[in-house]
């Protein structure tokens, strides 16, 4: 699929065909896409555990739910638990030197092994490691980048996907997650039972209300010709709700025995 169409067609899918497995190849492609996302200091801030829904006991599955994670967890056959490692900058000294060695970080921009040891380590990485709040913030951004690539890869592979919250303490217990890692989101994977457009693109605040130019509060002017081009290219699609969305949701609820 074209990049713009992948961006345009992605929806948070909440109804999956519970009986249709996801091919291992597609799961791997999703992980491969995440692995290639940009990463601060090239460290492993983000890891993941792929879980087959049916491999867990009902009790464990229920223990992972939250007020916002309900039926979608039962319906999706594959769950990817995304984990962050706020201690990852500890390997930054080595991973940055690797970037120097392969010619990604270059002397023209001030980089050398000595610069990593004498400047970047004490002035940038050690302060991050010393402040857990900052380290979690950095790791959370890393996760966002990796997960977004994973979401888009799933759409590109014709899958439905969604991020959903989890009970982190129970996830740690059920999946034997080491203490230095924090489970932050579950990415669901499966074939959509709802129309892949899921009733249309979801509402967003007006462009000019959230994007500025020059100074805060000065709107970045939205060119309607560009908008039209993106419509033609499939990135900007029809907005929710489609006229038949209520009927679709009612039918899906009946099909799965969920409240209407
Ligand atoms: C980090 C993150 C966490 C989310 N957690 C939940 C969740 O717990 N339950 C849920 O139903 N949707 C969850 N969502 C999906 C959002 O509600 C959804 O992105 C939003 O409704 C916009 O729709 P769209 O993704 O189809 O564009 C989450 C999305 C993100 C990015």
Query: Mind listing the pLDDT tens digit for each residue in 184-210?
Result: 999 999 999 999 999 999 999 999 999
Residue 202 beta carbon below 6 angstroms from any ligand 1 atom = yes
Q: How far is the CA of 12 from the centre of ligand 1 (A)?
A: 6
Relative to the CA of 11, which ligand 1 atom is closest? 26
Kindly give, in sequence order, each residue whose CB lies less than 8 Å from that of residue 14, ignoring residues fewer than 6 positions away. 71, 72, 75, 162, 194, 198
Split at pLDDT 50, 70, 90, the class of 165 is very high
What residue's CA is closest to ligand 1, atom 17? 12
Residue 62 confidence (pLDDT): 97
Kindly give, in sequence order, each residue whose CB lies less than 8 Å from that of residue 246, ignoring residues fewer than 6 positions away. none
Residue 95 confidence (pLDDT): 96
Instruction: Kindly state the average pLDDT of the residues 71-99.
Output: 96
What residue's CA is closest to ligand 1, atom 18? 12
Split at pLDDT 50, 70, 90, the class of 214 is very high
Instruction: Kindly state the average pLDDT of the residues 248-260.
Output: 97
Residue 105 confidence (pLDDT): 98
Measured between alpha carbons, how far is 179 from 159 in angstroms, rounded to an integer?
32
Instruction: Kindly state the average pLDDT of the residues 81-101.
Output: 96
Q: Which residue out of 162, 171, 188 has the highest number of ligand 1 atoms within 8 Å of its CB and is therefore the one to mutate?
A: 162
Instruction: Kindly state the average pLDDT of the residues 71-80.
Output: 98
C-beta of residue 252 within 8 angstroms of C-beta of residue 194 = yes
Residue 215 confidence (pLDDT): 98
Residue 165 beta carbon below 6 angstroms from any ligand 1 atom = yes
DSSP string for residues in 170-211:
HHHHHHT--TT-EEEEEEEEE-BSS-TTTTSBPP---HHHH-
Measured between alpha carbons, how far is 95 from 44 in angstroms, rounded to an integer?
9
Residue 53 beta carbon below 6 angstroms from any ligand 1 atom = no
Measured between alpha carbons, how far is 3 from 131 in angstroms, rounded to an integer?
38
pTM: 0.97
Residue 239 confidence (pLDDT): 97
Residue 223 confidence (pLDDT): 98
136: how many CB neighbours lie within 10 A of its CB?
14
Residue 175 confidence (pLDDT): 98
Q: Beta strands of 63-181 (E only): which ranges?
A: 78-84, 160-164
Split at pLDDT 50, 70, 90, the class of 136 is very high
Split at pLDDT 50, 70, 90, the class of 160 is very high
Which helix H or strand E contains 249, and what residues bound it? helix 245-256
Q: How far is the CA of 49 from the centre of ligand 1 (A)?
A: 20
Instruction: Kindly state the average pLDDT of the residues 132-137.
Output: 96
Across the chain, mean pLDDT equals 97
Split at pLDDT 50, 70, 90, the class of 137 is very high
Measured between alpha carbons, how far is 12 from 52 in angstroms, rounded to an integer?
20
Residue 46 confidence (pLDDT): 98
Instruction: Kindly state the average pLDDT of the residues 97-113.
Output: 98
Q: Which CATH number applies to 3-193?
A: 3.40.109.10
What residue's CA is closest to ligand 1, atom 19? 12
Q: Beta strands of the chain (E only): which ranges?
A: 46-52, 78-84, 160-164, 182-190
Strands 78-84 and 182-190: antiparallel
Residue 230 confidence (pLDDT): 98
Q: Which residue out of 163, 171, 199, 203 has the highest number of ligand 1 atoms within 8 Å of its CB and is therefore the one to mutate?
A: 163
C-beta of residue 161 within 8 angstroms of C-beta of residue 63 = no
Q: How far is the CA of 14 from the centre of ligand 1 (A)?
A: 10
Residue 138 confidence (pLDDT): 96
Domain locations along the chain = 3-193
Measured between alpha carbons, how far is 126 from 117 in angstroms, rounded to an integer?
11
Residue 256 confidence (pLDDT): 97
Residue 218 confidence (pLDDT): 98
What residue's CA is closest to ligand 1, atom 29? 163
Residue 7 confidence (pLDDT): 98
Between the CA of residue 146 and those of 45, 89, 137, 139, 228, what are the distances in Å? Answer: 10, 17, 14, 11, 30
Residue 185 beta carbon below 6 angstroms from any ligand 1 atom = yes
Relative to the CA of 162, which ligand 1 atom is closest? 15
Instruction: Kindly state the average pLDDT of the residues 35-43.
Output: 96
Strands 78-84 and 46-52: antiparallel
Kindly give, in sequence order, each residue whose CB lies less than 8 Å from that of residue 101, ignoring residues fewer than 6 positions away. none
Measured distance between the N- and C-terminal CA atoms of the chain, rounded to whole angstroms = 34
195: how many CB neighbours lie within 10 A of its CB?
16
DSSP string for residues in 54-67:
GGS-HHHHHHT-BT
Residue 65 beta carbon below 6 angstroms from any ligand 1 atom = no
């Amino acid at each position: 699929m074209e990049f713009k169409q992948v961006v345009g067609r992605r929806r948070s899918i909440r109804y999956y065909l519970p009986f249709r497995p996801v091919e291992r190849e597609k799961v791997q492609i999703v992980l491969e896409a995440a692995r290639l996302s940009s990463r601060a200091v090239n460290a492993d801030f983000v890891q993941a555990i792929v879980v087959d829904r049916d491999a867990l006991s009902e009790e464990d599955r229920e223990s992972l739910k939250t007020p916002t994670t309900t039926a979608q967890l039962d319906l999706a056959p594959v769950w990817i638990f995304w984990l962050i490692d706020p201690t990852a900058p500890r390997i930054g000294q080595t991973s940055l030197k690797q970037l120097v060695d392969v010619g990604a970080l270059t002397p023209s921009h001030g980089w050398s092994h000595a610069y990593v040891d004498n400047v970047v380590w004490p002035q940038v990485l050690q302060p991050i490691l010393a402040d857990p709040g900052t380290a979690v913030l950095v790791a959370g951004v890393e996760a966002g980048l990796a997960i977004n690539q994973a979401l888009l890869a799933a759409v590109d592979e014709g899958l439905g996907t969604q991020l959903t919250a989890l009970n982190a303490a129970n996830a740690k217990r059920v999946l034997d997650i080491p203490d230095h890692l924090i489970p932050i989101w579950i990415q669901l994977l499966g074939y959509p039972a709802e129309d892949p457009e899921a009733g249309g693109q979801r509402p967003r605040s007006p462009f000019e209300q959230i994007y500025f130019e020059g100074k805060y509060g000065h709107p970045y002017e939205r060119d309607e010709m560009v908008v039209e081009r993106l419509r033609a290219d499939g990135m900007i699609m029809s907005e929710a709700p489609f006229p038949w969305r209520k009927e679709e949701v009612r039918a899906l609820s009946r099909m799965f025995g969920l409240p209407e």
